[in-house]
Chains A and B, each alone.
Chain A
Amino acid sequence: DTGVSQNPRHKITKRGQNVTFRCDPISEHNRLYWYRQTLGQGPEFLTYFQNEAQLEKSRLLSDRFSAERPKGSFSTLEIQRTEQGDSAMYLCASSLVLPGTETQYFGPGTRLLVL
């Protein structure tokens, strides 16, 4: 399967614990995006990378959220000191930016439940 993959697919954690999610983009895609989706809402943009550079992070929900893409390939999203309100689906998308065109392809998401 050459699509975007995310791990784990499901995560249950207790309030106050740290969690880390991984996203593997489509090979050779230079952009990688993180979104959060809660029930009944559309995906909400969090941050994105062009290669290893994080170009936008002002929309990360709080300073408990951080993301990395150290080698410009896979990315991780970490949530520290989780809260019940962090329960959501976390989606990753990747794209190959070409002149005049870009299409984001989404992974299957990581569903987080904070107890």
Chain B
Amino acid sequence: RKEVEQDPGPFNVPEGATVAFNCTYSNSASQSFFWYRQDCRKEPKLLMSVYSSGNEDGRFTAQLNRASQYISLLIRDSKLSDSATYLCVVNRDGGSQGNLIFGKGTKLSVKP
């Protein structure tokens, strides 16, 4: 099993749609979880951390299920500017970020 697995997509959705991405991870020792966003030929940027209780930041909601080792990201009312690759990220060891493991990313394309 790969350390972090994501559906590569692409997800092609119209503006205003709700879209959900899923991710699974294999290391039960991982303690920190994140979603990063990466635009074409740019560096990754932190979108949000993912907490056990679930967390929301505007149109973005992240969920974590430790028992199933599953992370999700929900984007509501999608905008053209949301078009990017979304990277699921976990840390390799317990504790703070440290050594991060990235998934391959899920590509999202929002169309007018």
The A-B contact count (CB < 8 A) is 48
Q: Which of B42, B97, B105 contacts A95 (CB 8 A)?
A: B97
Residue in B closest to A44 when the chains form the complex, CB atoms: B102
Identify whether the interface residues of A are mostly helix, strand, loop, or mixed: loop
CB of B101 within 8 Å of the partner chain: yes
Number of interface residues of A (CB under 8 A): 24
CB of A102 within 8 Å of the partner chain: yes
Report the contact-size class of chain B (Cβ under 8 Å from the partner). 20 to 34
Which residues does B use to contact A, with CB under 8 Å? 4, 8, 32, 42-46, 87, 89, 92, 96-105
Given A40-B8, A43-B44, A108-B43, 6 more A-B residue pairs with CB atoms under 8 Å apart are: A48-B98, A56-B99, A100-B96, A102-B32, A102-B96, A107-B43
11 contacts between A and B (CB under 8 A): A41-B104, A48-B98, A48-B99, A59-B99, A91-B43, A91-B44, A97-B96, A102-B32, A102-B96, A103-B97, A106-B43
